[in-house]
A and B are shown apart, each in its own frame.
Chain A
Amino acid sequence: MIMTPGLRKFALTIHITSSVGWIGAVTAYLALDVTVATNQDIQTLRAAWMAMGWITGFVIVPMALISLLTGLVMSLGTKWGLFQHYWVLISFALTILAILVLQSETQLISRMATIAADPTTSANALRALPNTLVHSVGGALVLLVIQVLNVYKPSGLTPYGWRKRQEQRLIRQSADSKA
């Protein structure tokens, strides 16, 4: 089903806002992750871990889910389709991958934020909490790849998209020959 232009613009606005918001929130998280990796001050570590927990739970996860949902609406409700163009398909696959990794990391970050927030947690235990830099840098790179694909929209039809085009071409040709 193709969306009306008004609805398409509305969905696109939410999609861009959530996707760019997701990247922005990951960048903010990354700054805190670097702080955790390089700092030994107990108060800074405690505050950074708690902020990482909040950013992940209240910003990154909702933005990621809204981005996925609106991306699905945008692809299925426009001429692009979800499986017809490689850039859409790859963006979708990378988004799913990023959300799966995020889902597993969210539980760990939440647990570590709880440990950091606990006033009885010792300084050594707080310093022993490992950073999540590998996952946050990897996640940021994946999001940048998705962003580039969505902006450049490199041409390339999937075999399914190619067959759909051929079918449409045959329908057009038979309609022309009848006319």
Chain B
Amino acid sequence: MLQTHDEADRGLSYSTPRWVKVFGIIAFVLVLLIALVLITGLGGEHGPGRHTPSTEQAVESNNPGIHTPPIEHSTQQP
């Protein structure tokens, strides 16, 4: 049931609109799913480490025969 301003103006009793309840249920299920994926690790590693290649990978040269120093990653904004 959609709640209208007229109902409030007429002094009828309060009830949460149906669309808000549906929205809340969907949000709750989504949060549960996300929590489940994070807890069980089904979605793989999460957090900063997930998006950063390992130091070994980062310093790996195109030419493995030549030793290259580790890359200094500055905090410079793109």
Contact = CB atoms under 8 A, between A and B. Distances in A.
Q: Is the pairing of A and B real?
A: yes
Interface of A: 50, 52-54, 56-57, 86, 90, 107-115, 117-118, 120-125, 128-130, 132, 134, 154-157, 159, 161-162, 165-166, 169
B67 interface: no
Contacts of A161: 8
B8 A114 contact: no
Given A112-B51, A129-B51, A155-B2, A121 B58 contact: yes
A103 to B, nearest CB: 13
A118 B57 CA distance: 14
Given A112-B52, A154-B19, A57 B77 contact: yes
B71 A86 contact: no
B26 to A, nearest CB: 10
Nearest to B1: A156
B44 to A, nearest CB: 9
Given A156-B17, A156-B20, A124 B57 contact: yes
A143 B68 CA distance: 44
